[in-house]
Amino acid sequence: MFESKDAMTKMYFKNKLQTLKMKEGDNMTKHIHKFTSLLEQLSLARTLVSNDETLFSLLKNMPMSY
């Protein structure tokens, strides 16, 4: 039972990280805080996110103006 809950938690935070988007005009500091909070949640769920995946996710969720 705990394994499926752990898997669901990992999937939830992975999805949140992959779908996080910063909109034009949003505060960069707040956005980075949301991003790092998701990484921390994944770490607490014992999910390793590689440096490459972290960088890709961060660049992907920035507006085109960046």
Each residue of 6-44: pLDDT tens digit? 889 889 999 999 999 999 999 999 999 999 999 999 999
Judge whether 13 lies within some domain: yes
Q: Is residue 9 part of a domain?
A: yes
Q: Buried b / exposed e across 54-65, counting CB within 10 Å, b at 16+?
A: eeebbeebeeee
The secondary structure of residue 35, as a DSSP letter, is H
Distances (CA, A) of 63 to 11, 42, 54, 58: 24, 24, 16, 10
* Residue 2: predicted pLDDT: 54
Query: Which is more confidently placed, 25 or 66?
Result: 25
C-alpha to C-alpha distance for 28 and 50, rounded to whole angstroms: 22
65 located within any domain? no
Number of domains in the chain: 1
In a domain, 23, yes or no: yes
